[in-house]
Amino acid sequence: MTYKVLHVGAGGFGAFWCDTYLPANIADGTIEIAGLVDIDSKALERSRKHLGLKPEQCFTSAEEAFQMVSADFCSIVIPPALHESIVDLALARGMHILSEKPIADTMEASVRIAAKVKASGRKMGITMSHRFDQDKTTLKGVVSAQALGRINTVSCRFASDMRVHDTWGRFRHEMAHPMLIEGAVHHLDIMADLAGASCTSIFSRTWKPEWAEYNGDTDALVLLEFANGARGVYEASSAQSTGLNDWTSEYFRVEAAAGTAILDHREVEVFHRQPKRIRQTNRQGKGQQVSLLPGKKWRNALLIEQFCQWLDGGSPMATNIEDNLQSVAMVFSAIESARIGQPIRVQEFLESFQESTALGAAK
């Protein structure tokens, strides 16, 4: 079945969706675009031409678009603070929803959206694109094969030079916690996936060096504990001097009982412990190189396809909204930890918001 989509967001990263992710799924008949929305008329016109839409299919008003367009689901690619209003419009029209991460800009709004979706009986997925990139999927396959044994630690380093204003999208330079909300939302999600368990505890420190042209904190160090006993270390900066591990070129390392797996600049290598050696030494670049997994679609192009397979009656996509609350809870637990200077018990943190949302709905 080909699903009709009302796409909200044609500028910024939304333009990349219109240029790359949507066309990949239009070409094979997975979706067709029924309508396009953006408040920026120039961005709207550019993406309209690229997608081959008629002028009457394009809107600068989301309210008008949802009144006029008949679609199976809407895709949301706008700043997180605006997500809930679009979700409300979609649910009022009985549409399923596929949204960019994070679910929303606050924990309260994220839990509230999840509750609304559950009550509606509609389906909602979140596009955690980086976890489903080719290199991260390859690393996950190596770790999941269990040849390395029980996982002990998962490490991630993200080091990007986006210190100058507007180099990471203007709204990120103006928000309170750009690194955690817009960066860690991907990286912590990947780390939990590699660890193979939900996060139980987070301790974080965040700051902004004087050269970073941001309102909020650009740098973070985060310690994590997972339900299966694994630990994690996350080092991140959007104001690093030389961009050593920028987007799609991050460094991940998984240490396990019988070996180590490393992803660095999209190259995966594995080191296996030799049982007959009492003490071993190695260096990066001398391990077993692992070829990246083949595939026609990756990142959000793949997630659009997986969402449509879910709508077809298949299993829920891995990033369905209920499961994705775990990723959001890690992010906002890290923010709270940075605020109070103490570790946060992640599951209790999430449950407290779910309980308050349920109480509010009962009144």
Token pair for 265: 């600049």
Question: Could you tell me the pLDDT band of residue 305, with boundaries at 50, 70 and 90?
Answer: very high
CATH number of 133-290: 3.30.360.10
Q: What is the DSSP string of 274-323?
A: -TT-SS----TTSSEEEPPPP-S--HHHHHHHHHHHHHTT-PPPTTBHHH
Fold of domain 3-122: Rossmann fold (3.40.50)
Token pair for 54: 């008629």
CB 77 within 8 A of CB 49: no
| pLDDT in the model for residue 90 | 99
CB 318 within 8 A of CB 163: no
Q: At what angle do helices 346-362 and 107-120 cross, to 10 degrees?
A: 60
Count CB neighbours of 289 within 10 A.
Answer: 9
pLDDT at 294 over 90: yes
pLDDT, mean of residues 257-268 = 98
Query: pLDDT of 127-153, one tens digit each?
Result: 999 999 999 999 999 999 888 999 999
Question: Could you tell me the pLDDT band of residue 360, with boundaries at 50, 70 and 90?
Answer: confident
Question: How far lies 70's CA from each of 5, 75, 95, 188, 346, in Å?
Answer: 8, 13, 9, 36, 40
The domain limits of the chain are 3-122, 133-290
Token pair for 154: 């998962």
- Identify residue 215 by its one-letter amino acid code: N
